[in-house]
Amino acid sequence: MNILLVTNTYLPHVGGVARSIDTFSRSYRQRGHRVMVVAPRFPDMPMREHDVFRVNAWQQFNASDFSVALPVYPGLSAALDTFKPDIVHAHHPFLLGMTALRTARYRDLPLVFTHHTRYEQYTHYVPGDSPALKRFAMALATRYANNCAQVFAPSESIAALIRQRGVTSPIAVVPTGVDIELFATGDGQAFRQRWGIPGDAFVVGHLGRLAPEKNLQFLAESIAELLVRLPSAQALIIGSGPSETLIRAVFAQHQVADRLHIVGVLQQKPLADALHAMDVFAFASRTETQGMVVTEAMAAGLPVVALDGAGVREVVADEKNGRLLQAADTKVFSAALHWVAGLSGRGRIALQQQARATAARFSLAHCADMALDHYAALREARHPADGNQRPEGEDIMAWIRGEWSVLKSLAEAGDAAMGSASIQDDKEP
């Protein structure tokens, strides 16, 4: 198959969506499929990329690390004519997501949408953030999903949530797969030596974009409290982003800044080495749809201490492969980390074994096969037009249908945003 993936975030941007697309793309190509990614330009992106079409974008939008695609895409239509996609897979409901919808309508192709993100949790990146904007974001994602032939939810929690919000298109749970072999081994001791972390230290780790929506002040407070309580403990954080200054300030306030190691963005083997330098993985975000870094940590044999939330509760089993905490209380979180540190050797090995067994359920091969099965079913169910040419006048009608779908979604989302319903009424299952 020729698979078209359309996204507002892609490498070298650091984030779950970009990593998900990269992971699936590599797996599809290994199975003999062609993949074309349509994405905005980002700072420091590779000079040469295979089957990636970059569109002009406003980079570092609103002082963030996101790029916002500009509305004109010279050369895209010709590139799609050459590529001849069989499936259009959108990874966002807005900006380039609307381009994906137009493309699918105009070319009479099945449209798939992965509901990666709880968009109402990210409106602080947009000037004029408000409750109405949050309602608009939720309504737009719902109406976009209902324009699709198939919706992928990264977890059962998100599948239930979007059904509650009114998605009626078929929903399949297709998590982003984890490269089990990559994370199964790593040289943690060498990584510790490189960063001056004692070999006998109890290392609390975290991986992810360092951004406000990730609840990082809470996480930093919890880990810093543990470091005060446990002098042998150290903190290892992988990632970069606008919240790095805040994290450093929290550790300085607790006078444990000398035991904090923020090592920036790591990929492939250096990332695996860093995970193997940890003893426990800490995760406090409640804006996730899957929490892919949690399964990556478990693939490295790490028990996870996390706050309960969508996408996390499907992975973390309390006192089986880590701790799943209901209360957002730094003392409770710190105590859970201390519980892991205090386990006997046998107890910690049991957690590690359960973590690896959990990660195996999310293997990249299994998740990629699930996605490809859905693509194949959609292609087989499609009724292609006779021959290679559209009937006279059909091109303009296809264009009109595509534009109508876009305008209808925007109008209905706008109506919902201006309604009286509060986002507080949206209860997570």
**pLDDT, mean of residues 112-141:** 77
The predicted-structure confidence for 270-314, as pLDDT tens digits, reads as follows 999 999 999 999 999 988 878 789 999 999 999 999 999 888 999
Going along 158-232, which residue ranges are E strands? Answer: 171-173, 202-207
Q: Are residues 336 and 398 in the same domain?
A: no
- pLDDT above 60: residue 77: yes
| Contacts of 75 by beta carbon, 8 Å cutoff, 6+ apart | 53
Q: Are residues 29 and 50 in the same domain?
A: yes
Check which CATH number belongs to the domain holding 217 and give it. Answer: 3.40.50.2000
Q: Are residues 342 and 400 in the same domain?
A: no
Q: Which helix (H) or strand (E) holds 310?
A: none
Q: Are residues 221 and 334 in the same domain?
A: yes
Q: Are residues 256 and 110 in the same domain?
A: no
**pLDDT, mean of residues 74-81:** 92
Categorize the per-residue pLDDT at 392 as very low, low, confident or very high, splitting at 50, 70 and 90. very low
**pLDDT, mean of residues 25-41:** 95
pLDDT value, residue 196: 97
Q: Are residues 297 and 228 in the same domain?
A: yes
What value does the CA radius of gyration of the chain take, rounded to a whole number of Å? 22
Q: Are residues 15 and 108 in the same domain?
A: yes
pLDDT value, residue 375: 97
**pLDDT, mean of residues 320-329:** 96
Given 360, 386, 405, the domain boundary residue is: 360
Tell me which residue of 66, 21, 62, 20 sits closest to 42, measured CA to CA: 66
Q: Are residues 129 and 196 in the same domain?
A: no
In DSSP notation, 29-78 reads HHTT-EEEEEEE--TT--S--SSEEEE-EE-SGGGSS--EE-S--TTHHH
- pLDDT above 80: residue 394: no
Write out the residue range of the structural domain in which residue 324 sits.
180-360
Q: Are residues 149 and 219 in the same domain?
A: no
Given 334, 360, 386, the domain boundary residue is: 360
Given 360, 377, 411, the domain boundary residue is: 360
| Contacts of 153 by beta carbon, 8 Å cutoff, 6+ apart | 114, 115, 159, 162, 171, 172, 173, 174, 289
Q: Are residues 197 and 144 in the same domain?
A: no
* DSSP for residue 363: B
Mean pLDDT score across all residues of the chain: 86
| Contacts of 402 by beta carbon, 8 Å cutoff, 6+ apart | 101, 102, 103, 104, 105, 106
Helix-helix angle 16-30:292-299, to 10 degrees: 60
**pLDDT, mean of residues 213-229:** 97
Q: Are residues 230 and 329 in the same domain?
A: yes
Q: Are residues 119 and 227 in the same domain?
A: no
Total domains present in the chain = 2
pLDDT value, residue 319: 96
Q: Determine phi and psi for 317, rounding to 5 degrees.
A: -110, 120
pLDDT value, residue 421: 45
